[in-house]
Amino acid sequence: MEKKLIKQLALPLSFRNVKNYSNFILNEVNEVALTLIDEFNDINNFKKKFNFPVLILYGSQGSGKTHLAHIFKEITDAKFIKKISNVSLNEAKLGKSFIFDDFDKIKCLNESLFIHLFNEILFNSGSLLIITSKPPNELSFNLGDLESRIRSCISTKIELPDDNFLFSILVKELSDKKIFLNDKFCLYIIKRIKRNYKSISLFAKTLDIMSLEQKTKITLKQIKEVLNIIETNS
């Protein structure tokens, strides 16, 4: 059974180089989102296709939304924001793009200012990426106009990694640290670790530190120890 599954865990890995950020692994889990983000290379065409230069990415924590946001930032030179200010409005008038991370966790959102920001982005050459754990139809607003606009924007869900994707991420993170485990060890890890990028990254870092400290060949015992640490800290 394990041999069959290992064969199914393919590695043609498709990597995306991201400036000042770790390489991005392209997979069917995130392909639609990445395709939409790439379309911001031609903002006028994006507006023609989707009406608003706004994209909403939603999904569970650890699904890779923030990583995608950095690709968006690289393409559009966008600015991460947590609140809207007059400075933001002035920047939007000049064509600045923005990324609203953890949008559903923002307290006391100034909805009037947000509509103004939305309009400035729409009528100028900027764009907006909204990152949220909730789908647009579960986001509530006091202003009906804002709610209508948000629900009219293009959105896509980012799923948590499947076994194939998780395997690829693990191999990538380990190889970056010059750690090469056999397939059985990798399969053992992905069946027991939390299914998100953060846990995989933390596992690779912790295993790297342990192997450097102990200066021994990596064993199953060490892998189990690291998995226990990850379970506690992720």
pLDDT 10s digits, 102-120: 998 888 889 999 999 999 9
DSSP letter (8 states) at residue 39: G
Kindly state the tokens that stand for 27: 């997979």
- Beta-sheet pairing, 79-81 with 54-58: unpaired
What is the CATH topology of the domain spanning 2-11+161-233? Answer: Helicase, Ruva Protein; domain 3 (1.10.8)
Q: How far apart are CA 59 and CA 198, in angstroms?
A: 14
CATH 1.10.8 range(s) for the chain read: 2-11+161-233
Q: Are 131 and 57 in contact (CB under 8 A)?
A: yes
Q: Are 46 and 125 in contact (CB under 8 A)?
A: no
Complete edge-to-edge strand list for the sheet that includes strand 79-81: 79-81, 98-100, 128-132, 54-58, 154-157
Task: Give how far Cα 41 sits from Cα of 9, 119, 126, 204, Å.
Answer: 33, 20, 11, 34
> Per 3-state DSSP, what percentage of the chain is helix, strand, and coil (rounded to 5)?
55, 15, 30
pLDDT tens-digit profile of 165-183?
A: 888 889 888 988 899 999 9
Give me the tens of pLDDT residue by residue for the chain, a chain 234 residues long.
444 444 444 444 455 555 545 556 666 777 899 899 999 999 999 999 999 999 999 988 777 888 899 999 999 999 999 889 999 999 999 999 999 999 988 888 899 999 999 999 999 999 999 999 999 999 989 999 999 999 999 999 988 777 888 888 898 889 888 999 999 999 999 999 988 778 888 899 999 999 888 888 899 999 999 999 888 776
State which CATH number among 3.40.50.300, 3.40.190.100, 3.40.50.2300, 1.10.3720.10 fits the domain covering 30-157: 3.40.50.300
pLDDT tens-digit profile of 187-207?
A: 999 999 988 778 888 899 999
pTM of the model: 0.76
CA angle 120, 141, 126 (to 5 degrees): 20
Q: How far apart are CA 86 and CA 100, in angstroms?
A: 16
CATH 3.40.50.300 range(s) for the chain read: 30-157
Exposed / middle / buried, residue 39 (Cβ in 10 Å: 0-12, 13-18, 19+): middle
Q: How far apart are CA 201 and CA 165, in angstroms?
A: 14
